[in-house]
Structures are given as structure tokens and as C-alpha cells.
Amino acid sequence: MASSTVEPKLEKKEEEVEPEVGENPTGDDEDTGAPVAPIVRLQEVAVSTGEENEHVLLDLKSKLYRFDKEGSQWKERGVGTVKLLKHKETGKVRLVMRQSKTLKICANHLVLPTMSIQEHAGNEKSCVWHAADFADGELKDETFCIRFASVENCKAFKEKVEEIAESQQTKSGESEEAGAAATELIEKLSVESKDKNDKPEDKEAPAATEEKEDKKEENADEKN
């Protein structure tokens, strides 16, 4: 029996096409090294936070809540950084908190002598206080609750706020005393000035004047 042989099929090779002159065979854009001007030019813009003239007394990460009176429940105000800032000229201290990503203001109010802060419902990491807040562009009476990651941070915040409130009260008392002293001094000077103006001038009595005139006449007669 004759064996049949099968000739292997030869695959037809694709014709190789040589690239034309000036054509990039890889298809990548060729870097000519020429400078490319940007389509839009961005200019640096100075952004003001309003904190340039203030000194940071405290800076802590926290979560802030506000009490919703209508719903009688706590609502989250934001997560971010709470700061106590002291103005370099006036010496006034305000509490400011911004959200971490958007930097939106969550709280913005002065630390006044009347401000009272206390622990929230036995939670050592949280404390509450009441203030006239300006975060939304208008003064609103708000009750805030702030929570920290540790007891130490909460304690540091509470003690610092109490210290500032007490110092503001002392300054307020000193200002009142200084104002009262200044008022008293002005009144005293006014009375002395009035007494001086009302005091009669020292005038010689008519008899003394006549006596002097008589002596002048006698001296004139003796000379003659």
C-alpha cells in the first residue's frame, strides 16, 4: 500500500511595506523639542482667610454638632479643625471651626466672659456651650456640642476656653474701673475750674484807696 504524503501548506507572508520617507513607523508623535505655549494661563490669586491678624492659641481636630430646636435633636455641623484665635491688636479671642475638605465655616463667634462650657451628659470626650454665632452670615443663638478623639484634647479645649473667658472678664472689669476713674477725674477738674471762675477777684476796699490818695497829697505838699 502506497503511503500518501501531504505537503505542508506554506503560509503566505504579508508583503512588507517599507515606510515612506518622513513617516514615523511606530506611529508615535515625534517630539520636535519646540516649546508649546499653554492654552490658558493661570495667575496666582491671594486668598484671604481673615485669620492673618490673629494668633492661634489652640488648634485641634474635632466633630461639631448643633442642637436643632425645632426637631429637638443634635445635628452634625461638620468634621474639621477648631481654633481659638486671638486678635493681635484688640486682644479679643474668637472660636472658629472649618470643615476639613471644603473649609466651610461651621462655627464663628467670640469667646465672651459670659460664655459657659461644660461636659456633655457624662461623656468625657464631648462638651457643650451656648453662643451667638456668625457662621451663616448673621447672628444666631446656637447651642453647640463638640467631640474630640481623646479625653486629653477635650480637657485642653475646655480649660483653654474657661481661661480665655475669665481673662476677658478681668479686662472688662479693668476697663470699667478705668472708665469710672476717668469720669471721676473729669468731674473733679470741672468742679475746680468752676470754683476758680466763680471766686471773686481781690479788690482794695474804698477806705484803703482813699488813705493812699491822702498820703500822696501829703507827700506832694511837703515837697512844695
Could you tell me the domains of the chain? 54-169 (2.30.29.30)
Phi-psi region of 221 (alpha: psi -120 to 50; beta: other; left: phi over 0): alpha
Q: What are phi and psi of 63, to 5 degrees?
A: -125, 130
Cβ-contact 93, 79 below 8 angstroms: no
Residue 182 has pLDDT above 80, yes or no: no
Residue 153's pLDDT is: 97
Q: What is the overall mean pLDDT for the chain?
A: 77
Q: How many CB atoms lie within 10 A of CB 183?
A: 10
Residue 101 has pLDDT above 50, yes or no: yes
Rounded to whole angstroms, the Cα distance separating 190 from 72 reads 58
Residue 136 has pLDDT above 60, yes or no: yes
Residue 204's pLDDT is: 47
Cβ-contact 66, 84 below 8 angstroms: no
Q: How many helices (H) and strands (E) does the chain have?
A: 2, 7
Share of the chain above pLDDT 70, in %: 57
Q: How many CB atoms lie within 10 A of CB 126?
A: 18
Residue 40's pLDDT is: 74
Dihedral angle over CA of 57, 155, 127, 174, nearest 10: -50
Residue 220's pLDDT is: 54
The string of pLDDT tens digits covering residues 32-61 is 667 776 677 777 766 667 788 899 999 999
From residue 32, give the alpha-carbon distance in Å to each of 21, 26, 38, 47, 114: 17, 16, 17, 39, 71
Residue 215 has pLDDT above 70, yes or no: no
pLDDT band at 202 (very low <50, low <70, confident <90, very high): very low
- Identity (one letter) of the amino acid at 10? L
Going 201 to 207 to 213 to 216, the CA torsion angle's sign is: negative
